[in-house]
Amino acid sequence: MNVKTLASASLFAVLSLGTLAAQASTMPMTDAGVMQYHYGDHLDVKKVLSVKDDQSNGCGLVNTRMDYLNSKGQPESVQYRTYATSGCHDN
């Protein structure tokens, strides 16, 4: 492995870590009752009540909140990241 390849790989790794930190810092923690979804979590969803994005005209990663009823009929909420495309195209 030459120096140029090693330097490129190191730069990519540093930039990737910076991007992850920036995304984590933009996630609002406004409601303590909202579960933060992590890949592989199992949700008990009987009926979806609403799905809302932080930015309706955003393009890229945005916070999304889903309010739903579980199998016992109790309301729950989960927040997760989605890729919004509504603001990406000019019509």
- List pLDDT tens digits, range 24-83: 444 454 566 788 888 888 999 999 999 988 776 667 888 899 999 999 999 999 999 888
- Average pLDDT (11-31) is 52
CA distance 62 to 8: 29
Q: Where are the domains of the chain?
A: 3-84
- By C-alpha distance, which of 29, 22, 34 is closest to 65? 34
Write phi, then psi, for 78 (nearest 5 degrees). Answer: -135, 140
Q: Which residue has better confidence, 12 or 31?
A: 31
pLDDT at residue 75, as a whole number: 95
Q: Are strands 75-84 and 35-36 parallel, antiparallel or unpaired?
A: parallel
When pLDDT is cut at 50, 70 and 90, the band that residue 84 belongs to is confident
Question: What fold, for 3-84?
Answer: Spermidine Synthase; Chain: A, domain 2 (2.30.140)
pLDDT at residue 46, as a whole number: 95
Contact 42, 28 (CB under 8 A): no
pLDDT at residue 22, as a whole number: 45
Task: Find the radius of gyration of the CA atoms of the chain.
Answer: 18
Give 36's strand partners. 79
